[in-house]
Amino acid sequence: MSRTWSRRGFLWLLGAGAGSLTIGVTYRACDEQRRVPGPADIEDAFRPNAFVTITPDDQILFALHKAEMGQGIMTGYSMLVAEELVVPLEQVHTYFADGAPEYRTSKNLQLTASSTSMTEGFVPIRQAAAAARIMLIAAAAKQWGVEPSDCEVGDGEVRHAASGRAARYGTLALAAAKQGLPKDPPLLSDVQSRLIGSSPTRVDTRAKVDGSAQYGMDVAVPGMVRALIVHPPRIGATVISIEAARARGMPGIIDILSFAAGVAIIAEKYWQALRARPFVEVEWSPGIPFSTSALREQLTLGHSAAAPTQIPRDDGEVEAALAGAPTRLEAIYEAPYLAHAPMEPQNCVADAHTDYVEIWAPNQSPTVFQDAVARLVGLERNDIIVHSTFLGGGFGRRVVPDAALEAVALSRLVGRPVQVIWSRESDIRQGHYRPLASISLAGALDQARLPIALDYHCFAQPIFADQAPIFAAMAPDWVPPSVRNWTGEVGTAMLANGTVGSETLATEGAVELPYTITNVRIGYTPIDTPIATAFWRSVGHSFNAFAIEGFFDELAHAGGHDPCALRLAMLPAASRARAVLVAAAALGGWGDPPTPGFAKGLAVHECFGSVCAQVVEAGVVDDRIEVARVWCVVDCGRAVHPDLIRAQIEGGCIFGMSAALWQEITIEGGAVLPGNFDGYRLLRMHECPQIEVEIIDSTAPPSGVGEVGVPPIAPALANAIFAATGVRLRRLPLQAAWLEAKGAAS
Amino acid sequence: MHLMVNGAQHEIDIPDDVPLLWVLREELGLTGTRFGCGQALCGACTVHVDGKARRSCVTPVGAVVGHAITTIEGLGVGVGLGGDRELSRVQAAWIAEDVPQCGYCQSGQIMAATALLRIKPAPTDLEIDAVMSASLCRCGTYQRIRKAIHRAAKTSGGGDSP
């Protein structure tokens, strides 16, 4: 196959004309080429950088190097490009970029995480489009013998008003490619915006509404077989034997085998593997008899036994202040392991060859996937081609390359492309959880009944310890795989136990405590369990906001203060949190009489550069927690797409609410108890309160909104329940905690 | 067996007990119907059988032979997935309200909402809740789904299909 991929062929694959575009399902590299042809190979295209391509037939192509998992970065970035090229949004054809070195913009990784995409890309993506604009103008000006400054752009053309000449971008492509790359292209939208700040229909909405959006599970490549994985039923269990005589004879079954991840039922079609599953009996070793209830007990006792091993913040003299204060409070706050449970279970298509591997996966980091696969098979990182699809939810789970490693291993074994599709039970039970946390707090009020001291000690697994694949992937390409293995394993261990640097994730959201309390100590002790952890939407903030905002509320009530008034009194005057809280209190009618039987609670939290406050009206009816309404205010800097921001805050709030109310990964005897949505409950429409979102007007650079809506809901809800009932719930999930409190009282 | 899907007849040779979901996805290449749980708990697999919402992940294909099956790809007018197809009233409302985030549940949501509007052309919030509570959305688009259903109900042209 010629290296110059015809423009028509590529655009056919893009499905030009439709609203949202992905590399076509049937697209594969041919044997002579490692790298998948893309816009870089379109003949005579103008490609000033890795992001923007203008084709000779006037198509504007934009490479999205971030994962689109519903957070809307596909639309956000497309808007930035359309803005600086001065074209309607519909004229930008956005496609998912494969894993490649030029896209490693986050700590040497091509990565979508930590609510950073818009913050990271706001200037560079606009510059990429602006550079193209400048060069197109320069090309036209040269052709016409006029000054570039006398030319304008609009509707995909360069125009010279004085002479009435105009040329479409496509016709200028060849000439533009010869112009000099501008070093610092001026950004039109720094002066005036047309698109930024508006809320156009998202570029992927049409495809998601007509069923054409391609998720990982929808990918099919010629010769592909499917694999259903039977994962271990207990942590650490391994295969002892497989009884599958009858299953092997069933239609379409290719093989049933034991491998690193468990047992694979490989068939031509997934439905054939499903039909064979009941006839596959696996004998497993006992595994590790891990128990979450035993761990909770152990940690509760452990709080009185030892001092923290890491102290990332130590202001004033906490112990002296606590000892000498007239009023002292103590509490233990707990949060469970949580699964991400995206609607699309884990899956991956892999086609392993001796000298390269090609994979299609919903993923949050092509680099992590490239690196993990490269180390598995003994190839170079850039011999691993990673195609990304839409993600049916990510929430941090899809940074983990587990399904990809399974698919690659199986493809090597059977010599054909393999699609691995996880069951929902596998998705919920196969680890990589938000860590369980047990946090002890002690606080004191002074003579004026104001908080004077806060001592916090968190027991939780260091999330860094499970991120070896990420740390290995951060090493440059030239670092040998064995050394990358080392940096991955040993490096993360050293971070996790504080030998070098420290585990920051377990205390994030506590270390940054915004209240002007004189004596504050934030301590952390890592715990070691066989459970794998991962980033779960808002990470450490997801449990630290619960502990901090819940306990601060306790201090407020102990001092006879209104919880909002005390917060405002103890937030620095010019702080963003203060302004957000004031706005939320106003929006939520704080101080207005609530619905009978209900009461309001609130919380404010900052994470990943943005601040969100939530006021919740809730109560308990017949021992059932009911959430009536939620009011949210967010400060995320300049709002690029206000409606999308509102959707993310609503969605984050609902995501957090499901966890706050019901979700818990309980493990007994090494077996994860919940398996499907009956045991791991998600909020449903009839349980969803009315949620109102207001965005603070700001001209600061945009900060992320994917996660900040999650942390405040749990503490705001617990605070509302206290206000309504006098019962303080200190453990998540709250519904279970309520019933335990009732049981203990009776 | 003969399967009638989106108005077209298909001749397929498959055991009766195969869930309709996988027949649609793997035998007919209609991947718009999604796999979320395999236990009829989430609604991502919702299709219409004779106009009524059914969970295809637990519906054996043998049970729907001779019945009219409609998937997300069959809503609206015209064929294909490109811009040539005129979307249904419900789909148009979904776009106007910009409902989807990750979008994975939305095929099932739209199918459930369409079936609801056939029975209740102007549903109340309670009626919407009663039916749509069966369809999970992890991204939390429920408020927008409700708005889109009301919008679709209001743009009704009398007896036309939602």
What does the longest C-alpha to C-alpha distance in chain B come to?
44
How far apart are the CA of B139 and the nearest CA of chain A, in angstroms?
5
The yes-or-no verdict on residue B145 having pLDDT over 60 is yes
Q: How many residues does chain A have?
A: 746
The yes-or-no verdict on residue A107 having pLDDT over 50 is yes
* Strands of A262-267's sheet in order across: A253-259, A262-267, A225-230, A418-421, A347-352, A357-361, A384-388
pLDDT 10s digits, A634-672: 999 999 999 999 999 999 999 999 999 999 999 999 999
The yes-or-no verdict on residue A582 having pLDDT over 50 is yes
pLDDT-wise least confident of A396-410, B2-16, B75-89: B75-89
What would the mean pLDDT of A485-490 be, rounded to a whole number?
84
The beta-carbon contacts of B72-77 under 8 Å, at least 24 apart in sequence, are B72/A210, B72/A211, B72/B32, B72/B33, B72/B107, B72/B110, B72/B111, B73/A210, B73/A211, B73/A212, B73/B6, B73/B30, B73/B32, B74/B5, B74/B6, B74/B7, B75/A210, B75/B110, B75/B111, B75/B114, B76/A210
Decide if A514 contacts A529 (C-beta within 8 A): no
Q: 200-219 in A: which are within 8 Å (CB) of B? A: 201-202, 204-215, 217-218
What would the mean pLDDT of A226-240 be, rounded to a whole number?
98
User: How many other C-beta atoms can be found within 10 angstroms of the C-beta atom of residue B49?
Assistant: 17
What would the mean pLDDT of A593-605 be, rounded to a whole number?
95
| Amino acid found at A370 | Q
The yes-or-no verdict on residue A710 having pLDDT over 50 is yes
Q: 1-40 in B: which are within 8 Å (CB) of A? A: 14-15, 17-19, 22-23, 25-27, 29-39
Residue A138 has phi, psi (to 5 degrees) of -60, -40
pLDDT-wise least confident of A144-148, A208-212, A236-240, A302-306: A302-306
pLDDT 10s digits, A199-228: 999 999 999 999 999 999 999 999 999 999
Closest partner CB to A271 (pick from B19, B44, B139)? B19
Decide if B61 contacts B47 (C-beta within 8 A): no
Three-state SS at B38: coil
Q: 2-31 in A: which are within 8 Å (CB) of B? A: 15, 17-19
Q: What is the DSSP letter of A671?
A: E
DSSP secondary structure, B76-92, as one string: SBSSSSSTTSBPPHHHH
B41 and A423: CB-CB below 8 Å?
no
- C-alpha distances (whole Å) from A221 to each of A151, A433, A562, B19 are 47, 32, 62, 22
- C-alpha distances (whole Å) from A77 to each of A15, A21, A214, A380 are 20, 14, 20, 31
**Cis, bond preceding A733 (omega within 30 deg of 0):** yes
Output A445 or A467, whichever has higher pLDDT. A445
pLDDT 10s digits, A121-176: 999 999 999 999 999 999 999 999 999 999 999 999 999 999 999 999 999 999 99
Output B101 or A304, whichever has higher pLDDT. B101
Nearest chain B alpha carbon to A690: B143
Write down the mean pLDDT value for chain A. 93
Half-sphere exposure at residue A561, Cβ-oriented, CA atoms within 13 angstroms: 19
- From CA A161, how far away is CA A175, in angstroms rounded? 20
DSSP secondary structure, A332-374, as one string: EEEE-BB----SS--EEEEEE-SS-EEEEE--S-HHHHHHHHH
- From CA B89, how far away is CA A256, in angstroms rounded? 47
Pure H helices in B120-161: 125-132, 142-154
| Non-local CB neighbours of A286 within 8 Å, separated by 6+ positions | A234, A237, A670
Determine what percent of chain A is predicted with pLDDT higher than 70.
Answer: 94
Tokens (6 digits) for A185: 């292209």
| Amino acid found at A20 | S
Q: 127-156 in B: which are within 8 Å (CB) of A? A: 128-130, 132-146
B143 and A688: CB-CB below 8 Å?
yes
How far apart are the CA of B152 and the nearest CA of chain A, in angstroms?
14
Output A277 or A7, whichever has higher pLDDT. A277
- Residue A743's pLDDT is 87
| Residue among A419, A404, A349, A389 nearest A24 (CA) | A389
The yes-or-no verdict on residue B7 having pLDDT over 50 is yes
| Residue among A454, A619, A624, A669 nearest A547 (CA) | A454
Name which of B102, B125, B136, B142 to mutate to probe chain A: the one with the most chain A Cβ atoms within 10 A of its Cβ: B102
- From CA B16, how far away is CA B31, in angstroms rounded? 20
Closest partner CB to A392 (pick from B75, B102, B135)? B102
- From CA A470, how far away is CA A714, in angstroms rounded? 29
Burial per residue of A287-311, b for 16 or more beta-carbon CB atoms within 10 angstroms, e otherwise = bbebbbeebbeebeebbeeeebebb
The yes-or-no verdict on residue A605 having pLDDT over 60 is yes
- Helix A642-661 with A541-558: angle, nearest 10 deg: 70
pLDDT-wise least confident of A49-53, A381-385, A488-492, A536-540: A488-492
Decide if B139 contacts A70 (C-beta within 8 A): yes
The yes-or-no verdict on residue A181 having pLDDT over 50 is yes
pLDDT-wise least confident of A21-25, A173-177, A573-577: A21-25
- C-alpha distances (whole Å) from A402 to each of A368, A484, A494, B35 are 11, 18, 23, 19
How far apart are the CA of A647 and the nearest CA of chain B, in angstroms?
7
- C-alpha distances (whole Å) from A372 to each of A158, A236, A467, B17 are 46, 21, 11, 39
Decide if A455 contacts A329 (C-beta within 8 A): no
Q: Which residues in chain A have Cβ-Cβ distances shorter than 8 Å to B58?
A: none
What does the longest C-alpha to C-alpha distance in chain A come to?
90
Q: Is the pTM of this model over 0.90?
A: yes
| Residue among A316, A299, A313, A308 nearest A457 (CA) | A308
Q: 380-399 in A: which are within 8 Å (CB) of B? A: 390-395
| Non-local CB neighbours of A2 within 8 Å, separated by 6+ positions | none
pLDDT 10s digits, B101-119: 999 999 999 999 999 999 9
| Residue among A545, A466, A538, A455 nearest A503 (CA) | A466
- From CA A406, how far away is CA A425, in angstroms rounded? 17
DSSP secondary structure, A679-743, as one string: TS----GGGPPEEEEEE----SPP---TTTTSTTHHHHHHHHHHHHHSPPP-BSSHHHHHHHHHH
Burial per residue of A448-479, b for 16 or more beta-carbon CB atoms within 10 angstroms, e otherwise = ebbbbbbbbbbbbbbbbbbbbbbbbbbbeeee
- From CA B23, how far away is CA B59, in angstroms rounded? 11
What would the mean pLDDT of A50-73 be, rounded to a whole number?
96
- From CA A242, how far away is CA A474, in angstroms rounded? 39
A72 and B101: CB-CB below 8 Å?
yes
Q: How many residues does chain B have?
A: 162
Decide if B36 contacts A393 (C-beta within 8 A): no
Inter-chain Cβ pairs, chain A and chain B, closer than 8 A: 190
- From CA A540, how far away is CA A504, in angstroms rounded? 9
Q: What is the DSSP letter of B74?
A: G
Decide if A522 contacts A312 (C-beta within 8 A): yes
- Residue B160's pLDDT is 62
- From CA A310, how far away is CA A353, in angstroms rounded? 47
B83 and A17: CB-CB below 8 Å?
yes
Nearest chain B alpha carbon to A391: B102
The yes-or-no verdict on residue A491 having pLDDT over 90 is no
ipTM beyond cut 0.95: yes
B139 and A214: CB-CB below 8 Å?
no
A269 and B81: CB-CB below 8 Å?
no
| Residue among A287, A281, A235 nearest A258 (CA) | A281
Tokens (6 digits) for A80: 């930035």
- Residue A449's pLDDT is 96
Q: Which residues in chain B have Cβ-Cβ distances shorter than 8 Å to A218?
A: 25, 31
Decide if A667 contacts A235 (C-beta within 8 A): yes
